[in-house]
Amino acid sequence: MAVQWYPGHMKKASDEIREALQKVDVVIEVLDARIPISSSNPMLKELRGNKPCIRILNKKDLADPEVTARWIETMEKETGVRAIAIEALKKKEAEKVKSLAISLAPSELRRGVRALVVGIPNVGKSTFINTLAGRKVAKTGDEPAVTKHQQNVRIEGGRSGFDISDTPGVLWPNLADRRGGIRLGATGAVRDTALDFLEVAPQAVIDLLTHYRDLVIARYKLKVIPEEGLDLLAEIGKKRGCLRKGGIVDMHKAAEIVCKEIKAGDLGRISLDWPEDYKNEDKQDID
């Protein structure tokens, strides 16, 4: 799925990140734990250079804990990278990120540690900042691209202080990795108005059937389990009463239900990105 959604403020944000990186000691990238590769920004690795990086796998309560643990192990094989899974609303977990950032910064700093927080829309970046600050300093919402302007936030003062720079979420202009685009759509990183539910849902339910067959069957009370995405979506539509006159399944309505339930975590703790999948796929577009 090629997602074409690149508001002008996002182009500005990428320029702001380039400038801000020159002034910080540590980069904190917030990811969705369910899709840590699909929700990453591919240009960040090049931009940050040798600066230490913490990858936050947020929304861990929605993700498969075993898969999340494997992602942390995989990510920490990269030089200069540490990874941690959290729920951004929990103060103690946000504080762990701050402590980790301070430990990764150059030890000779006397002005305190400066960190840059980045992430694509709707991964919980602003929620994390507000939790860490103990007050509402960044606007949050259930729709992507809420943050529009960069801001600097003082967490602690003094020589041992901790400052963070918040940037608008950055989503690249064209997602060539079709499956990555579908996973972004299914988990809510793309506005509904820019989303083709009928393109996203069939592939998403097949991905779920691959790893979470029992959860899918239980959630939708399925007795017939088609192996094709559209056929499976039609069976789900029948079970959910998405029927038009003459017993015809309203496929768009069924697709919208599936996407909203994946986004909300109604199927249970699931992960759509698996380390093994990306080793096999080599990030190529999947037809």
Q: Is 211 found in the same domain as 146?
A: no
Q: Is 195 found in the same domain as 251?
A: yes
Residue 283 has pLDDT above 60, yes or no: no
| pLDDT at site 86 | 98
Q: Is 131 found in the same domain as 74?
A: yes
| pLDDT at site 78 | 92
Mean pLDDT of the chain: 84
Residue 2 has pLDDT above 50, yes or no: no
What's the pLDDT tens digit per position in 263-276? 999 999 999 999 98
pTM reported for the whole predicted model: 0.85
| pLDDT at site 154 | 79
**29 class by beta-carbon count within 10 Å (0-12 exposed, 13-18 middle, 19+ buried):** buried
| HEC readout, 42-57 | CCHHHHHCCCCEEEEE
Last residue within a domain, chosen from 141, 166, 191 = 166
Mean pLDDT lowest among 16-30, 94-108, 170-184, 257-271: 170-184
What tokens appear for 175 in the block?
């997602």
Q: Is 161 found in the same domain as 188?
A: no
| pLDDT at site 17 | 78
Q: Is 218 found in the same domain as 136?
A: no
HSE (CB half, 13 Å, CA atoms) of 210? Answer: 14
Residue 194 has pLDDT above 80, yes or no: no
Chain-centre distance of CA 227, in angstroms?
27
What's the pLDDT tens digit per position in 85-117? 999 999 999 999 999 999 998 876 667 789 999
Q: Which residues pair with 166 in a beta bridge?
A: 117, 151
Q: Is residue 244 part of a domain?
A: yes
Residue 173 has pLDDT above 50, yes or no: no
| pLDDT at site 284 | 43
Phi, psi of 286, deg, nearest 5: -110, 120
**145 falls in which pLDDT band (50, 70, 90)?**
very low
**What is the domain count for the chain?**
2
Q: Is 143 found in the same domain as 196?
A: no
Residue 43 has pLDDT above 90, yes or no: no
Q: Which residues pair with 243 in a beta bridge?
A: 249
| pLDDT at site 286 | 36
The parent domain of residue 261 ranges over 178-281
Q: Is 140 found in the same domain as 25?
A: yes
More confident site: 201 or 169: 201
Q: Is 182 found in the same domain as 142?
A: no
Domain CATH number, residue 55: 3.40.50.300
More confident site: 39 or 143: 39
**131 falls in which pLDDT band (50, 70, 90)?**
very high
